[in-house]
Amino acid sequence: MAEIDTASFVPSLAIDCVVFGFHENELKVLLLKLTGVDVWALPGGFVDKNKDLEKAAIDTLEVRTGLTDIFLRQFHTFGSIARNDPNHPKFLIDKGLISEDLFDWFNQRFVTIGFYALVEYSQVKEPVPGPISEACEWCSVNDLPPLMLDHQEIVEKAHKALKRELSYQPIGLNLLPNQFTMSELQALYETILETQLDRRNFRRKILSYGILKDTKKFRTGVAHKAPALYEFDVSAYKKASQAGLNMGW
Amino acid sequence: MAEIDTASFVPSLAIDCVVFGFHENELKVLLLKLTGVDVWALPGGFVDKNKDLEKAAIDTLEVRTGLTDIFLRQFHTFGSIARNDPNHPKFLIDKGLISEDLFDWFNQRFVTIGFYALVEYSQVKEPVPGPISEACEWCSVNDLPPLMLDHQEIVEKAHKALKRELSYQPIGLNLLPNQFTMSELQALYETILETQLDRRNFRRKILSYGILKDTKKFRTGVAHKAPALYEFDVSAYKKASQAGLNMGW
DNA sequence: TTATCTTAGTGTCATAATGACGCAAAGAAA
DNA sequence: TTTCTTTGCGTCATTATGACACTAAGATAA
């Protein structure tokens, strides 16, 4: 059962992180399974009184994934009064997840600041559960388990934000391994955008951005023709990120 | 001096609104001048315990502008610990803006949720100051007076968000009067984007979106050739807003 | 009254970007 | 050796974009 020192936290405020990973052509999010019940939650937490919001999110992510230096972006703050289910604190206590004297703390109205993070799936060796959870796993965004409170909505909004981001920013540096094939990059785009793209046109367009470096190496040991391996030209990538890609005006 | 019932507010939490208007080819924001000092602030406030964040922003705007039904968008939440100037509450008390017993409330760490609003300048007849301000005025974003705390940064971030919005959404419905000329619409775009656009190419592109209706009327009594008056085709405009305009993929 | 000046409206043209799709080469599997 | 699938390269028609010329309308100046 979780014992936390609520006095050190900013009241009413929480953060939630939607951690995206990409594996087997699926967009995944990291979720925590609450101990003893089939309810899942986003990694997140309260905000220490003398900690920046960003830092609170970064620290949460480090604990769960072991990763530092993660791509992180604040995308929305969720503050509807409806999101505070009055039965929630009772539920947590009944299930033995928190002690009874935390009732008041959990019974507050919380406003949560949503961040999304992009991480390289394979880099996260063993996601670690928290004090009130028994598992931390990757789940496909298209097949989410039952989520706590409004966490489903938070995931959806994060995905939407990511989609939008994609249309004027290069994406991939934080989601793919160092070297990758053109097909893998395309699959990432298709997965995030939930649409199909023409293979040849995709190649042409992405190459035109000048953010890819041909490594002159090939992926071996795979079926069919060995595809070329690319990596991102980090400085060009960052420059393109700054400038924005498809600005309309 | 402001007397407020802090017990009814969510602690640690505030909202700030960047209200954009467009007048004389300038992008303006609505600011409040604190009584007795040359320090200005964004309209904003605390969040009532049983009020949605959006509603808090809407209510703030109604009080200041008299307008209901305003275009409003949450764009960022500001929560750095650095934004809390420990001298600020003392400053407010010294200047006689708030009573001494509010020191503790104002001395909290505040996280503020930033909204920007788009309003039609001429619709705001007489902006009304609040309890701690003696004036409420439109100021050009390019020539802002000294602002309280990090409000300058908030305005800048809002402008940036608006700029970005412009590149994949139609804008104007909420900023221009019902009928307007092509030049006025272009001036709005140029002002927000801080760039010059070719007159003829702008016309072609904006017309291609199919969101404008030719009213068959002309602006009279102006120098030179009488320009045609347009209005937005609201349903087409909303459809375009939904769909997004210049998605890259 | 006529010439001049400025803004509005329309059109042109070269170039770039996009969408649709053909074809051959490289491997792995049959 | 043949078949099958994926990769890499290219074509072509259409559309979008940037640069800019020309004419019309109306106010002002000569």
The confidence score (pLDDT) of residue A173 equals 96
CATH architecture of B180-243: Orthogonal Bundle (1.10)
Start-end ranges of CATH 3.90.79.10 in chain B? Answer: 6-166
Where do the H-state alpha helices sit in chain B?
53-65, 88-94, 103-106, 151-166, 182-193, 199-208, 234-243
- On chain B, the residues whose CB falls within 8 A of the CB of A245 are 248
In this predicted structure, the answer to whether residue B136 has a pLDDT above a threshold of 70 is: yes
Place of tokens 């290069």: A170
Residue of A nearest to B196 (CA): A249
The whole-angstrom separation of Cα A164 and Cα A177 is 23
Tens of pLDDT, residue by residue over B85-107, are 999 999 999 999 999 999 999 99
The whole-angstrom separation of Cα B33 and Cα B15 is 17
Position B2 confidence tier, pLDDT thresholds 50, 70, 90? low
The confidence score (pLDDT) of residue B122 equals 94
The whole-angstrom separation of Cα A148 and Cα A91 is 11
**Which tokens in the block code for residue A105?**
């703390």
- Beta strand spans in chain B (E): 9-23, 26-34, 40-41, 44-48, 71-78, 111-118, 133-140, 180-181, 212-218, 228-232
User: Cα–Cα–Cα angle for B48, B52, B53, nearest 5°?
Assistant: 85
Distance of CA B95 to the CA centre of its chain: 27
ipTM of predicted complex: 0.94
- In the three-class reduction of DSSP (H, G, I as helix; E, B as strand; rest coil), residue A166 is classed as helix
Name beta bridge partners: A114.
A16, A76
In this predicted structure, the answer to whether residue A223 has a pLDDT above a threshold of 90 is: no
Distance of CA B190 to the CA centre of its chain: 17
Residue B205 half-sphere exposure, CB side, CA atoms within 13 Å?
15
Among A237-246, B11-20, B31-40, B197-206, the minimum mean pLDDT is found in: A237-246
Q: What is the DSSP letter of A145?
A: -
**Which tokens in the block code for residue B70?**
């305003």
The radius of gyration of chain B's CA atoms, rounded to the nearest angstrom, is 20
CATH superfamily for domain A6-166? Nucleoside Triphosphate Pyrophosphohydrolase (3.90.79.10)
Place of tokens 């955008």: A193
Tens of pLDDT, residue by residue over A84-133, are 999 999 999 999 999 999 999 999 999 999 999 999 999 999 899 989 99
In this predicted structure, the answer to whether residue A240 has a pLDDT above a threshold of 80 is: yes
In this predicted structure, the answer to whether residue A2 has a pLDDT above a threshold of 70 is: no
The confidence score (pLDDT) of residue A27 equals 97
Across chain A, mean pLDDT equals 95
Interface size A-B, in CB pairs within 8 Å, comes to 95
Tens of pLDDT, residue by residue over B142-160, are 999 999 999 999 999 999 9
- In the three-class reduction of DSSP (H, G, I as helix; E, B as strand; rest coil), residue B77 is classed as strand
Q: Are strands A40-41 and B40-41 parallel, antiparallel or unpaired?
A: unpaired
Position A249 confidence tier, pLDDT thresholds 50, 70, 90? confident
Tens of pLDDT, residue by residue over B146-204, are 999 999 999 999 999 999 999 889 999 999 999 999 999 999 999 999 999 999 999 99
The whole-angstrom separation of Cα B162 and Cα B18 is 11
- Look at A109 and B193 and tell me if their CB atoms are within 8 Å: no
The confidence score (pLDDT) of residue B220 equals 87
CB-to-strand D under 7 Å, chain B 190-229 = 198, 200-201, 204-205, 208, 218, 220-226
Q: A9 phi and psi, to 5 degrees? A: -100, 150
Name beta bridge partners: A48.
A9
User: Cα–Cα–Cα angle for B147, B153, B158, nearest 5°?
Assistant: 110
The whole-angstrom separation of Cα A75 and Cα A53 is 13
In this predicted structure, the answer to whether residue A1 has a pLDDT above a threshold of 70 is: no
A216 touches strand D (CB under 7 A): no
Query: Is B7 at the interface with chain A, CB within 8 A?
Result: no
The confidence score (pLDDT) of residue B176 equals 97
Which helix (DSSP H) or strand (DSSP E) does residue A19 occupy?
Answer: strand A9-23
Distance of CA B20 to the CA centre of its chain: 3
Q: Please compute the mean of the pLDDT values over residues B45-50 and round it to a whole number.
A: 96
Check: CB of residue B220 under 8 Å from CB of residue A218.
no
In this predicted structure, the answer to whether residue A79 has a pLDDT above a threshold of 90 is: yes
| Percent of all residues in chain B with a pLDDT value above 90, rounded to a whole number | 90
Query: Is B76 at the interface with chain A, CB within 8 A?
Result: yes
Start-end ranges of CATH 1.10.10.10 in chain B? Answer: 180-243
From the CA of B249, how many Å to the C1' of D28?
51
The confidence score (pLDDT) of residue B1 equals 63
Position B246 confidence tier, pLDDT thresholds 50, 70, 90? confident
In this predicted structure, the answer to whether residue B207 has a pLDDT above a threshold of 70 is: yes
The whole-angstrom separation of Cα A16 and Cα A54 is 11
Tell me which nucleotides of strand D come within 7 A of a protein CB. 4-11, 16-21, 24-28
Q: Please compute the mean of the pLDDT values over residues A206-219 and round it to a whole number.
A: 96
Q: Please compute the mean of the pLDDT values over residues A24-30 and round it to a whole number.
A: 95
| Percent of all residues in chain B with a pLDDT value above 70, rounded to a whole number | 98
Q: How far is B199 from chain A (nearest CA, A)?
A: 13
Cα separation values, B3 from A148, A193, B96, B98, B106, Å: 39, 51, 12, 7, 13
- Look at A52 and B79 and tell me if their CB atoms are within 8 Å: yes
The confidence score (pLDDT) of residue A160 equals 96
**Which tokens in the block code for residue B30?**
């609505």
| Among the listed residues A174, A184, A209, A195, the one whose alpha carbon sits nearest the alpha carbon of residue A73 | A174
The whole-angstrom separation of Cα B5 and Cα A232 is 55
In this predicted structure, the answer to whether residue B76 has a pLDDT above a threshold of 90 is: yes
Q: B20 phi and psi, to 5 degrees? A: -95, 140
The whole-angstrom separation of Cα A222 and Cα A84 is 50
Q: Please compute the mean of the pLDDT values over residues A195-213 and round it to a whole number.
A: 96
The whole-angstrom separation of Cα B65 and Cα B135 is 13
